[in-house]
Amino acid sequence: MSSEYKIWKDIEERFKFCLMLAVLCACGYLVWHKLPYFILILIFGGIAAAMVPLYQISQEKLEELQYLDEGELTEAIHTIEKAKQIIMEYQFDNPFVASQLAQFDTYLQRENLTAQTFYREQYQERKRYEADQHAQYQKREAELIEERQRKGVSYGAPPHPITNLCPADFPIRATENLRREMGETRRGIYYFPDEADYNSKASWCFDCAEHAERDGYGRSRKGQPKHPRRQ
């Protein structure tokens, strides 16, 4: 009777271990299509043999961590934590099985630490990049304020000093070749990119027609096509 009990107990432990592998695969930690391979090993070769390819996949996952981005690392950390919880939920009476699971749990802990290290590095790098971008933006805004004050306007930006091209975010070109002595009240003319006179030498650039008009620039009297005003 004790012999039969031992046999059935061993079968039960193997089934539980198969179930644990299936759950691990389902949670996305293992490569799911390798699960039948593990089951065959468990049936014909025993639990110890099954742990070898399990460790190999664990090592492959560990090596993949360095190529994941911040979002993927977050998902990997969550998945590893789920795998660790699954192992903790299966308390085996068999000391050998328990020792094998403990070893695999050690692999998971190492992967978790590695993933968190990569995540912190990427997070810090992103924060440094965002801080640098913000500093550059603030510097550019301060320079624009000074240039607008020298120009005597409230909006816009100067064209490139060499190419005379307008910045991408200020595509409207404004000229200043009007004769004030002939009673012209406008400061100059502004042109949209699709207009024939757009390539005229620009003295200033704007992001929208409203800002150009507020700073004293107007449309050409040649009958340029109408453009919708920015709301």
Q: Say which residue the tokens 């240039």 belong to.
A: 147
pLDDT of the residue at 26 = 60
Query: What phi, psi does 217 have (nearest 5°)?
Result: -95, 150
Which residues, listed in sequence order, are joined to residue 173 by a DSSP beta bridge?
Answer: 191, 205
How much is the CA Rg of the chain, to the nearest whole Å?
Answer: 35
- For residue 117, the SS3 value is helix
Q: Whole-structure pTM over 0.85, yes or no?
A: no
Kindly list the domain boundaries of the chain, sorted by start residue. 2-127, 154-231
- Distance in angstroms (rounded) separating the CA atoms of residues 216 and 220: 13
Q: Which residues of the chain have pLDDT under 70?
A: 1-2, 5, 7, 19-55, 57, 90-94, 96-97, 179-183, 222-231
pLDDT tens across 54-65, in order? 667 677 777 888
- Distance in angstroms (rounded) separating the CA atoms of residues 99 and 221: 88
pLDDT of the residue at 22 = 66
pLDDT of the residue at 231 = 45
